[in-house]
Structure 1
Amino acid sequence: MIRVLLVDDQHLVRMGLRMLCESAPDMEVVGDAAGGAEAVRLVEEVAPDVVLMDLRMPGVDGITATRRITAARPAVRVLAVTTFDDDDHLYPALAAGACGFVTKDTPPPELLDAIRRAADGDRAFSRQVLRRLVETAVVAQGTSSASGSGPDGLPGTLTTREREVLGLVAGGLSNRQIAERLNVGVTTVKTHIASLMIKLDCPNRIRLAVLAARHGLG
């Protein structure tokens, strides 16, 4: 069971998030907070697995609260859930320790999937946010391809299925969505992604997506 703490200064938003999370059989809402200071205190009291953190709040804002929570409780995963899809919110939230960033207009199934990904230790982003991160990283790193013997410039050790999975990662799909697309189990997808991280020397999903975009996948 994933223990979720909701943080938002708008009561109706918290209620909506509570209803959504409680509709999932694998989630339990263990508390909610209207501000950052209350969120920091509640994390110590209820020990959530995932905190859904609004960023703009009066008093202690979400970025400050995220920094305090991740410093005190590194195992707690903070997922930023905000109206503002811009770099002025995205990068400070990630720098503060957020494991992901989704917008409030994210479809409910995708938000639930993002919570599950966060709880699993993965990074979770709205598709448009992931796309912007990848595009920014590609521009910053240039378009030079890595050496390799494959036709797309990737290492020849990658299997056809691993290339398929890599392209879907670049497209912003979750493990569950990739599994459905390829008609395989989620565990199989996780195995492919772990193999890709080793073969491509990428420590996380974002690096995989960046590399895939540089080589024309996704």
Structure 2
Amino acid sequence: MHLDMLSTTEKKNSSVKTVGILIFNDVEVLDVAGPFEVFSMTRLDEDKRYETTSPFRVVLLSEKKTPVIAIGGLKLIPDFTFDDCPDLDLFVIPGGWGTRREVNNSVLIQEISKLSAKSNLTASVCTGSSLIGRAGLLDGKKATTHWRAYNFLRESAPKAQIQKNVVFTIEGPIFTSAGVASGIRLSLYLVSHFFGTHVGKETARFLEFPYPV
């Protein structure tokens, strides 16, 4: 996925953008922490990095207000549930082994569908695409996932057009990315989407991570 579309979608509005990242038991740590780090470390003025704050407000969302145990045992504390979640500019659904269970959680799938409809953009990382696929958000759309989970996505979203060997896909307000670290690359792209290519590239440079091209 290239960045040609930025010429028409760049947004340099400096107002704070709210990003909500879904968490659940057995979520992949980097699927959550990667995007969290990218958005929280973004600065509009790189020269004043240590004097200013991020233009993103990043919060963790869960079905319940209880601690979540990620893969490897890392404990995550949700800031909000679906019931008290603020309006989102970006809703991020990560992957992990927990998606195999949560894809059959009808309550969670329904809440994902409702919150996505209220959010400006929705993005998945890794097997998170199977959750938004089960919610019907990928019907007729191009989508991707971890290379070992194409069949899982096909089962969860039989009407999706699965794209292999790509880092991420864009279909209107729906973004999907491949496995694990690809969520960082998608997040850098989204920084550019909201605040311009220069800010996206400077964020990547600070994180010492390749900028997506």
Q: TM-score range by the shorter chain?
A: 0.3 to 0.5
Please report the TM-score for the alignment, with normalisation by the length of structure 1. 0.39
Bigger fraction of residues in helix: 1
Q: Which has the higher contact order (CA 8 A, sep 6+)?
A: 2
Q: Indicate the structure (1 or 2) with the bigger Cα radius of gyration.
A: 1
Please report the TM-score for the alignment, with normalisation by the length of structure 2. 0.40
